[in-house]
Amino acid sequence: MDDYKNTKVTIYDVASEADVSLATVSRVLNYPEKVKPATRERVLEAINKLGYRPNTIARGLASRKSTTVALIVPDVSRASVAEMINGVIDIARKYDYTVILKVTNSEIEIEDDIWQEVFAAQVDGIIYLNDELQERNIKQILETTVPVVLCNVQEENNLVPSVSIDYETAFYEATKSFIDKGKKDILLVATRSAYSVNALREKGYKKAMQEANLEPNIIRTSGRLVINYPFFYDYLKTNKPEVAIVVRDSIAVSMINAACDLGIKIPDDLEIMGFQNTKYSKMSRPTLTSIDNPIYDIGAVSMRLLTKFMNNEPIDNENVILPHNILWRNSTK
Amino acid sequence: MDDYKNTKVTIYDVASEADVSLATVSRVLNYPEKVKPATRERVLEAINKLGYRPNTIARGLASRKSTTVALIVPDVSRASVAEMINGVIDIARKYDYTVILKVTNSEIEIEDDIWQEVFAAQVDGIIYLNDELQERNIKQILETTVPVVLCNVQEENNLVPSVSIDYETAFYEATKSFIDKGKKDILLVATRSAYSVNALREKGYKKAMQEANLEPNIIRTSGRLVINYPFFYDYLKTNKPEVAIVVRDSIAVSMINAACDLGIKIPDDLEIMGFQNTKYSKMSRPTLTSIDNPIYDIGAVSMRLLTKFMNNEPIDNENVILPHNILWRNSTK
DNA sequence: TTGTAAGCGTTATCAG
DNA sequence: CTGATAACGCTTACAA
């Protein structure tokens, strides 16, 4: 292939080079079986020779499909989010979709703008990755004609296609595993927002506690590192739970650090369990027990599901649940 | 604004609603000053009433500008990469650019494809974020007619616009700071690839060592967590450096953990310094001394620089150097 | 200040 | 199996 890379060659150039009409060139690109092998060869050669690449934009306009999906996330620097993005992008590449990345910074106005933008951009589908789904988001999504897949969240009534783990069961099981070991004073450390996934996590936790006639005890913290450490440091000065189940690994590590700095022995005085088995859990000392879930796969499967919607493939299950399991490490006994 | 959101309204609809020609509608969108306030008002109302949003694709085709940039990264799950992406995206939003995210997974064939794809997609600019820039990449970039900004890397001869810190000086200073404290056995822990940024880091380190008549000692490891820990565990069993300067925080944390598990006291027996001051450095125990650089800003400034190229604004400095400084924490004395 | 009309580079519907 | 030709929804001369 010669290096015509930067001199925009159009479908006309290819057509005249191959001595066919532009329609034929378009056909070999989109329906190769509809053109005679001999001419197909000729066209392919011309394409190769000229280094032709169809203009994605023109193609999008004419076909009314952009082969583009929007990936809407709250913040890419969260370890779990980043890993899911990797999953989404890998599969998107496999199916030849371009992905537009939009980050909301969890700000409502930005998010509203983003929804407008992605519609204007004619995206063929949307992956909404956000474990803090709110009422207004659901409404937004339900109004939409473009297919949307929720990634890492589940809408309570399964009104929207989604891929996630079974949060309620995961936290139920985690809590129960400590109860079965005879623990009574089990704390759930959640984040501020009491929406969707958080609600499910709390539900699972409470269920296990109530079944054992234990008093649920939930505290909420911010997701921010600089806030968490002092928060836990203060909290642990006066509170001595036996067990803490924490909704995010990074937050759990802050708690470990605060505890250690206070001379609280982990896991002897306090057992800590994190969630999502990110890099942090392996890097902390003691290593962090964590509820493992297939983060990369959650992203990947979301994107795969979305392709099915975009291509009108049959879909057997709109709400995919992926497996989870507890990885016991040194922050627990 | 009524909720016409999903019934595609075109510029024609607005035109007839406002009783003007489509050209006028287009003008109020692109050159509002060129249309009489009264009619402008009328058009704006119509736009509002119908909930019109110009079709980005059609606009792109007609104007031959996509207001889209490609952000090419090796892997989004690296903490520093993720933070830079945040920077890029925030500024892109500010200047109304859409960003397409492409990840190479550091695989050459994927990367080649990606370059083709982004040209076909008619992107207006490219941010290439990769601290392992190679010869072939530079060649690729130099051939390109679309503006490219290197993010977090510098091309040796400053042939390509870039935003980064002064790697050589940073590592020179870091090394020297230990030499000044009387240390002699100072190890540099680099990654495998000996390209660009790595070369600069090693250069700075070597310069400081040689000025002090000390023998440089460089080891190279992979970037992968599962590999690093055993690697360091083995290494530290037989080698006892006084100081280790490590090119990535996450790798430094693995080293800290291996050392601790071997009973090596940090910082008394071994001082460790990381690089980039990511979340890891605050979360590790002991906390990690690190060369701080403005990761978010590197992304943000890259994107800003790119907008200047795309809009033909005057550019005073094509190779922006951002400041760095050493944050001393508990992994050093 | 506004309207007319010619593209932009494809896809898709017809005939042939 | 192939070729004309009309969209696709907008921007942008050029005219009025």
A7 pLDDT tier (thresholds 50, 70, 90):
low
User: Which DSSP string do the residues of B10-77 spell out, in sequence order?
Assistant: -HHHHHHHHTS-HHHHHHHHH-GGGS-HHHHHHHHHHHHHHT----HHHHHHHHT---EEEEEES-TT
> What mean pLDDT, rounded, does chain A reach?
93
Edge-to-edge strands, sheet with A271-275: A218-221, A186-191, A243-246, A271-275, A289-292, A325-327
Q: Are A247 and A201 in contact (CB under 8 A)?
A: yes
Residue (of B83, B107, B87, B108) closest to B99 by Cα position: B87
pLDDT(B1) > 60: no
Q: How far is B157 from chain A (nearest CA, A)?
A: 24
Cβ within 8 Å of residue A18, ≥6 positions away:
A24, A25, A39, A42, A43, A45, A46
Residue (of B292, B298, B294, B287) closest to B329 by Cα position: B287
pLDDT(A6) > 50: no
Among candidates B93, B100, B283 on the partner chain, residue whose Cβ is nearest the Cβ of A99: B100
Cis status of the peptide bond prior to A286, with omega within 30 of 0 = yes
Instruction: Report the distance separating Cα B269 and Cα B243, nearest Å.
Output: 9
pLDDT at B7: 60
pLDDT at B146: 93
Q: How far is the CA of A12 from the C1' of D5 (A)?
A: 15
B194 pLDDT tier (thresholds 50, 70, 90):
low
Q: What is the pLDDT of residues A228-267, one digit of tens each?
A: 999 999 999 999 999 999 999 999 999 999 999 999 999 9
Q: Are A79 and B283 in contact (CB under 8 A)?
A: no
Structural domains in chain A, sorted by start: 2-61 (1.10.260.40), 67-165+295-324 (3.40.50.2300), 167-292 (3.40.50.2300)
Check residues B224 and A213 and name the one with the higher pLDDT.
Answer: A213
Instruction: Report the distance separating Cα B108 and Cα B104, nearest Å.
Output: 8
pLDDT(A209) > 90: yes
Tell me how far apart the terminal alpha carbons of chain A are, to the nearest angstrom: 62
Residue (of A103, A92, A86) closest to A279 by Cα position: A86
- For A300, A306, B114, the CA distances from B101, given in Å and listed in that order, are 15, 18, 10
- Write the DSSP symbol of residue B288: P
Q: How far is the CA of B33 from the C1' of D3 (A)?
A: 46
Tokens in use for A192?
Answer: 């501020």
> What mean pLDDT, rounded, does chain B reach?
93
Q: Give the phi and the psi of residue B199 in degrees, each rounded to 5.
A: -60, -40
The residue lying closest to nucleotide D1, measuring its CA against C1', is A35
- Left (φ > 0), alpha (ψ -120 to 50) or beta: where does A106 sit? left
pLDDT at B80: 93
pLDDT at A133: 83
pLDDT(B5) > 80: no
Q: Are B172 and B208 in contact (CB under 8 A)?
A: yes
Q: How far is the CA of A122 from the C1' of C4 (A)?
A: 28
Q: How far is the CA of A62 from the C1' of C11 (A)?
A: 5
Per the structure, the residues numbered 210 to 249 in protein chain B that have their CB within 7 angstroms of any atom of strand C are: none
Mean pLDDT check: name the lowest of A150-164, B1-15, B51-65, B149-163: B1-15
pLDDT at B168: 95
B47 pLDDT tier (thresholds 50, 70, 90):
very high
Q: What is the pLDDT of residues B27-43, one digit of tens each?
A: 999 999 999 999 999 99
Q: What is the pLDDT of residues B264-306, one digit of tens each?
A: 999 999 999 999 999 899 999 999 999 999 999 999 999 999 9
What is the chain A residue with the closest CA to B73? A86
A224 pLDDT tier (thresholds 50, 70, 90):
confident
pLDDT(B3) > 50: no
Residue (of A317, A297, A319, A26) closest to A157 by Cα position: A319
Which nucleotide is nearest, taking the CA of residue A60 and each C1'?
C10
pLDDT(A31) > 90: yes
A155 pLDDT tier (thresholds 50, 70, 90):
confident
Q: What is the pLDDT of residues B259-268, one digit of tens each?
A: 999 999 999 9
Q: Residue A22, CB, less than 7 Å from strand D?
A: yes
- For A70, A112, B329, the CA distances from A115, given in Å and listed in that order, are 9, 5, 43
Instruction: Report the distance separating Cα A264 and Cα A204, nearest Å.
Output: 28
pLDDT at B225: 76
The residue lying closest to nucleotide C11, measuring its CA against C1', is A62
Please state, as a whole number, how many other Cβ atoms lie within 10 Å of the Cβ of residue B34: 10
From chain A, the residues in CB contact with B253 under 8 A are 283
Q: Residue A38, CB, less than 7 Å from strand D?
A: yes
Residues 214-273 of A with CB under 8 A from B: 225, 250, 253-254, 257, 260
Instruction: Report the distance separating Cα A211 and Cα A112, nearest Å.
Output: 42
pLDDT at A118: 94
The maximal CA–CA distance of chain B, rounded, in angstroms, is 84
pLDDT(B209) > 60: yes
Instruction: Report the distance separating Cα A23 and Cα A27, nearest Å.
Output: 6
Which nucleotides of strand C lie within 7 A of protein CB?
A: 1-5, 7-13
Residues 39-68 of B with CB under 8 A from A: 53-58, 60-61, 66
From chain A, the residues in CB contact with B260 under 8 A are 285
Helix-, strand-, coil-residue percentages of chain A, each rounded to 5: 45, 15, 35
Instruction: Report the distance separating Cα A259 and Cα A231, nearest Å.
Output: 11
Cis status of the peptide bond prior to B286, with omega within 30 of 0 = yes
Global pTM reads 0.93
pLDDT(A145) > 90: no
What is the chain B residue with the closest CA to A62? B58
Which nucleotide is nearest, taking the CA of residue A120 and each C1'?
D9
pLDDT(B202) > 50: yes
Q: Give the phi and the psi of residue B218 in degrees, each rounded to 5.
A: -115, 130
Which nucleotides of strand D lie within 7 A of protein CB?
A: 1-5, 7-13
Share of chain B above pLDDT 90, in %: 84
Rg (CA), chain B: 25
Q: Are A126 and A139 in contact (CB under 8 A)?
A: no
Q: Are B11 and B48 in contact (CB under 8 A)?
A: no
Q: How far is the CA of A22 from the C1' of C13 (A)?
A: 15
Tokens in use for A270?
Answer: 């306090």
